[in-house]
């Protein structure tokens, strides 16, 4: 008989223990959810504050960005101007080297016809290394070449070009 009495009593005690345990677990869950909600609201508040901070940062970035962009525009303009100047200088040097105008060029017999045909204004000096008058003429030839950059001045060794000296009847 005691076994049956003990069983309902034990059942009641076990029921109360389980009930307490369930209530305790539910309280823990409730507290956890409350803490999570608080954390979420804190995070959202931080995010919104951060969002406000981000907005303020973005506004500051835009203000500084405008200054930077103005400075960059000025710098880019200066860089482009310098590049254009450099390109013009390079082009003028290339043109000067390509034409060789304003200076006296020494050519050989094979270049003679091409030089005469391709250039509109050409002055040619047939020289001889051993003649003093040719050396004097060469000096004046260089001075005149510097004064007239629109004309091509060339000189050719008369000894090394017998064909053209005979055909053109070149004499001292």
> Is it the case that residue 1 has pLDDT exceeding 70?
no
Of residues 131 and 37, which shows the higher confidence score? Answer: 131
d(CA 134, CA 171): 12
| Residue 103 φ/ψ, nearest 5 degrees | -145, 165
Mean pLDDT of the chain: 80
Q: What is the pLDDT of residues 56-102, one digit of tens each?
A: 676 666 666 555 677 888 888 899 999 999 998 888 777 665 555 77
Give the per-residue pLDDT at 126.
93
Closest by alpha carbon to 141, among 153, 132, 151?
153
Q: What is the mean pLDDT of residues 8-21?
A: 76
Give the per-residue pLDDT at 54.
64
| Confidence grade of residue 24 (pLDDT, cut at 50, 70, 90) | confident
| Confidence grade of residue 42 (pLDDT, cut at 50, 70, 90) | confident
Give the per-residue pLDDT at 46.
65
> Is it the case that residue 19 has pLDDT exceeding 60?
yes
Q: What is the mean pLDDT of residues 7-24?
A: 77
Give the per-residue pLDDT at 65.
57
Closest by alpha carbon to 126, among 148, 96, 157?
157
Give the per-residue pLDDT at 127.
93
């Amino acid at each position: 008989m005691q076994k049956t009495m003990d069983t309902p009593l034990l059942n009641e005690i076990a029921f109360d223990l389980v009930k307490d345990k369930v209530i305790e677990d539910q309280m823990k869950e409730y507290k956890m959810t409350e803490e999570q909600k608080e954390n979420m609201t804190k995070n959202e508040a931080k995010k919104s504050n951060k969002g406000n901070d981000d907005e303020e940062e973005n506004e500051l970035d835009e203000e500084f960005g405008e200054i930077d962009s103005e400075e960059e525009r000025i710098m880019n303009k200066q860089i482009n101007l310098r590049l254009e100047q450099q390109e013009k200088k390079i082009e003028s040097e290339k043109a000067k080297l390509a034409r060789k105008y304003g200076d006296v060029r020494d050519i050989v017999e094979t270049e003679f016809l091409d030089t005469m045909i391709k250039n509109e204004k050409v002055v040619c000096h047939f020289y001889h290394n051993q003649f003093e008058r040719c050396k004097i003429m060469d000096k004046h030839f260089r001075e005149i070449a510097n004064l007239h950059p629109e004309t091509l001045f060339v000189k050719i060794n008369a000894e090394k070009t017998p064909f053209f000296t005979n055909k053109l009847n070149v004499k001292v």
